[in-house]
Structure 1
Amino acid sequence: MTGDGLQAETEKGGTGMESSADRSDIRLCRLEDCTFRQAVELWNAGFSGYYSDMTTTVEKFAVRLGRESIRPDLSVAAFAGDEPAGFVLVALKEAGGVKIAWNGGTGVSPACRGRGLAKRLMREAVEAMKRGGAELAYLEVVQQNAGAVAVYESVGFRIVDGLIGAKRTGPVGRYPQADDENGGKEGYTLSVVKPRELTRLPFFRFDAAWSGQWFNRAEDDGIVVSGVDGKPLAYALVRRAQDEDGALRAVTLYHCAADPALGDRRTGPLHAALEAAFGPAEADCARATDNLSMSDPAVVEWLKAAGFETAYTQYLMKAAFGTERRDLS
């Protein structure tokens, strides 16, 4: 789940006492000009009062920068005098010759909310993305956060998908089954491939959350479900973790989609992909989805039937700065 500390941006923050935030001395700079301690102060202040506890430390923040490919030279920071005012983290990667940017977090401190700072930060962040050569940019935002959605739309982002984080623990018992002409899972063949190979599927979903982008999941497993004729029908992208004894400990699903040309016949291949991704039903492990697309109701229905509980829902938003290329492999 990606953070956007803007849920109170439309409300005037503060306690009624005059502070540096009440003066027009807010200055913008690059995150690379800040110390780690200042960056953490920006983050923690920006996410004050957020939907969930996003508090971090210098150690955790340093790991986040590397893990999520955050570019301090493109990320924007704001200060009101010496006090943290707000920030936008910007990540940038290249895939298939296309540079893709991501908003890795946006926050405005309580004392500075309601003053239009979020839009100012986002305008500067978008310009930084463009200067970095980005053709596409993505972000995730909590669906209930209408204020943040409006800010992002004001700088060119548009909602392209809904995302779900769901989880369950322990054995499933029995996976939901679909009636289909192939006779259940025995009517399909499964193959495990590298995530890059999934991008060759004509129905691969390139629009995805940053955590689920194929180039960020290079060490995970791609699963392809094919029919009796060998034609790919569905796929999944999953991370599976084992304990020291080799037993399945956790499974996280990032993608699951079927060829839309199948129409109503897509349910069987989807179920086969989901069952293969989440492993043996009897496995006593943690199972979760991470910003999984909600585009296909059949996927969400399967998760509910299998006992998954929704942890969060978000929107995937996208902006295009140049000539968009579909093939990012």
Structure 2
Amino acid sequence: MGSPERQNVEIRRLADCTFRQAVELWNLGFAGYYSDMSTTMEKFVPRLGRESIRPDLSIAVFVDGEPAGFVLVALKTVEGVGIAWNGGTGVSPNHRGKGLAKLLMREAIQAMRESGAATGLLEVVQKNAGAIAAYESSGFRICDGLIGAKRTGAFTVNDLPGGVSDDYRIGRMKPNQLAKLSFFRHETAWSAAWYNQKEAEGIVVTDKEDAVGAYALVRKSYADSGKLQGITLYQCAADRSRTDALPMLHAALAAAFAPFGEDCTRVTDNLSMADPAISEWLEAAGFEKVYTQHLMIVQLN
């Protein structure tokens, strides 16, 4: 193990820390971050279960007995294959720039391997060069760009790039059914993965021969009154082998954010930017970019 400039460094698993220490690690680690990431005990504990965080695999570092840094590690088995996720990495301001992030990542990779996971993934803000370097030092590689975008208010058909085509039909599938499509994107952000959005709605676009040419994965939220409050788009892709891939993609995006007349908030959550046509459609439709991230992946075996 390397020796960053520090003394009395103790590495623990999060399972060996108190809840108070875990919350303190989180808040110190994200102090001064790009957005307010502070949490409380009441918010942090449910987060562990909601995001499948494993305290026995997650890493905590203490320097001279004080909380100094952490990596949260989540684990899921999907169709017999283990997938690990870095659910957050942070280093206290007093200990940044001393090599702790790289040490934490080496320990986290070891924990992921111990779990039997075949793949590890994470998302990182694109302008966070220091974090990207630490992740790359442990074997992670950038494989995609991700976008969070937002639009508030009703649509009209004229607002939709490409309009609404009568050449295609819109159908529904469960998220696990979408994953069987030959052109389904399996390399996705943790929050956008089908196995973490089993209650979401799968939308498919079919041609006149009932061949599926595009899909979307969305979740809708409603007020107690039943009014539509929001639509979140997690995934959208078209079969690029088709000559009509672009209009099919447009049809999937339009279906994802319908009904257009509803005055609600429409957002994307870590949506893949692998197809530039998606970002172009969002911009033309009046969505504002909220954030961009990298999706990074490491092969563990």
Q: TM-score range by the shorter chain?
A: over 0.9
Q: Does 1:153 find its partner at 2:136?
A: yes
How many angstroms does 1:297 deviate by? 1.1
Residue 224 of structure 1 is aligned with which of 204, 221, 241? 204
Within 1, Cα distance between the matches of 2:242 and 2:278?
Answer: 15
Aligned to 2:162: 178
Residue 290 of structure 1 is aligned with which of 269, 276, 290? 269
Scaled by the length of structure 2, the TM-score of the pair is: 0.96
Please state whether the residue corresponding to 1:251 is helix, strand or coil: strand
Within 2, Cα distance between the matches of 1:130 and 1:287?
Answer: 38
TM superposition outliers: structure 1 runs of 4+ over 4 Å: none
Q: Does 1:101 find its partner at 2:80?
A: no
Residue 64 of structure 1 is aligned with which of 44, 47, 58? 47
Residue 60 of structure 2 is aligned with which of 49, 67, 77? 77
Report if the CA contact (8 A) 1:178-1:267 is conserved. Answer: no
Aligned to 2:171: 191
Aligned to 2:291: 312
Gap change, CA 1:273 and 1:247, over 3 Å in 2: same
Q: Alpha carbon RMSD of aligned pairs, Å? A: 1.3
Within 1, Cα distance between the matches of 2:257 and 2:6?
Answer: 54
Report if the CA contact (8 A) 1:135-1:321 is conserved. Answer: yes
Please state whether the residue corresponding to 1:187 is helix, strand or coil: coil
How many angstroms does 1:289 deviate by? 0.1
The one-letter amino acid of 1:251's match is I
Deviation track 1:10-30 (CA, whole Å, cap 9, x = no partner) reads xxxxxxxxxxx9751111000
Aligned to 1:113: 96
Residue 120 of structure 2 is aligned with which of 137, 143, 151? 137
Please state whether the residue corresponding to 2:53 is helix, strand or coil: coil
Q: Which runs of 5+ in 2 are unaligned?
A: none
Within 1, Cα distance between the matches of 2:195 and 2:146?
Answer: 19
Residue 243 of structure 1 is aligned with which of 223, 235, 242? 223
Report if the CA contact (8 A) 1:26-1:85 is conserved. Answer: no
Report if the CA contact (8 A) 2:119-2:297 is conserved. Answer: yes
How many angstroms does 1:168 deviate by? 1.1
Aligned to 2:234: 254
How many angstroms does 1:260 deviate by? 1.1
Q: Which runs of 5+ in 1 are unaligned?
A: 1-20, 323-329
Mean CA deviation greater in 247-256 or 170-179: 170-179
Please state whether the residue corresponding to 1:166 is helix, strand or coil: strand
Q: Does 1:299 find its partner at 2:278?
A: yes
Within 1, Cα distance between the matches of 2:188 and 2:161?
Answer: 27
Scaled by the length of structure 1, the TM-score of the pair is: 0.88
The one-letter amino acid of 1:69's match is S
Deviation track 1:68-105 (CA, whole Å, cap 9, x = no partner) reads 00000000000112211000000000001100000000
Within 2, Cα distance between the matches of 1:33 and 1:114?
Answer: 26
* Number of equivalent positions: 297
The one-letter amino acid of 2:273's match is M
Aligned to 2:248: 269
Aligned to 1:214: 194
Please state whether the residue corresponding to 2:166 is helix, strand or coil: helix
How many angstroms does 1:176 deviate by? 1.9
How many angstroms does 1:244 deviate by? 2.0
Report if the CA contact (8 A) 2:112-2:300 is conserved. Answer: no
Within 1, Cα distance between the matches of 2:273 and 2:161?
Answer: 19
Report if the CA contact (8 A) 2:76-2:83 is conserved. Answer: yes
Within 1, Cα distance between the matches of 2:131 and 2:17?
Answer: 25
Within 2, Cα distance between the matches of 1:53 and 1:244?
Answer: 29
Mean CA deviation greater in 140-149 or 168-177: 168-177
Gap change, CA 1:249 and 1:46, over 3 Å in 2: same
Please state whether the residue corresponding to 1:38 is helix, strand or coil: helix
Report if the CA contact (8 A) 2:161-2:284 is conserved. Answer: no
The one-letter amino acid of 1:294's match is M
Report if the CA contact (8 A) 2:205-2:212 is conserved. Answer: yes
Within 2, Cα distance between the matches of 1:114 and 1:199?
Answer: 41
How many angstroms does 1:177 deviate by? 3.7
Mean CA deviation greater in 296-305 or 98-107: 296-305
The one-letter amino acid of 1:221's match is E
